[in-house]
Amino acid sequence: MQYQKTKEILNQAVADLSQLQMVVRQQHWYMRGPEFLNLHPYLDDVMSELNDQRDLIAERLITIDGSPYSSLAEMVDHSTIEAHPGKWGTPTTERFATIVDGYHHLAHLYEKGIKAADEEGDYSSSDILTTCHNDLEKRIWMMAAEINQAPNIDE
């Protein structure tokens, strides 16, 4: 079967993007404090970007004859990003650190996908993942800066 490893990684990305979007939504819903008016709409943008990446990756998966996960049960069963119940009173630094951790997870998955796609000769998937990876690194930098941390994108 053509592009088998790439398809597996793209589908993993669909599940992990879905889960990370829910993690961000949770932080968005449970946020309070002096940063609320600025950070609440910022997280809307983050969720939108994650949704756009998921759609792009799922459509690429279909283009190469794959079948993206498309139910909540599949997302939960296949995501490798942890889920925890929401809670009030979590400091913004902790909220953003949780999101940044998820972004690092996705960045590593995308790197794996870029390598697999290149090895299998699927340069379009490689290009999509490279573009998405660049966007992830920028978000990591911005969110890490918000909580006075270095982006640590090489870890």
Give me the pLDDT at residue 1, please: 63
Residue 154 in domain? no
| Residue 127: domain span | 4-146
Residue 151 in domain? no
Whether pLDDT at 2 is above 90: yes
Residue 153 in domain? no
Q: Residue 98 and residue 96: Cα distance in Å, rounded?
A: 5
Share of the chain above pLDDT 90, in %: 91
Half-sphere exposure in the Cβ direction for 144 (13 Å, CA): 16
Q: Residue 100 and residue 74: Cα distance in Å, rounded?
A: 24
What digits encode the pLDDT tens for the residues 90-103?
A: 999 999 999 999 99
Q: Which two tokens stand for residue 71?
A: 């139910």
CATH code, domain with 16? 1.20.1260.10
Give the contacts of 51 (CB within 8 A, at least 6 positions apart): 17, 21
Residue 26 in domain? yes
Q: Which two tokens stand for residue 41?
A: 């709409």
**Number of domains into which the chain is organized:** 1
What digits encode the pLDDT tens for the residues 65-90?
A: 999 999 999 999 999 999 899 999 99
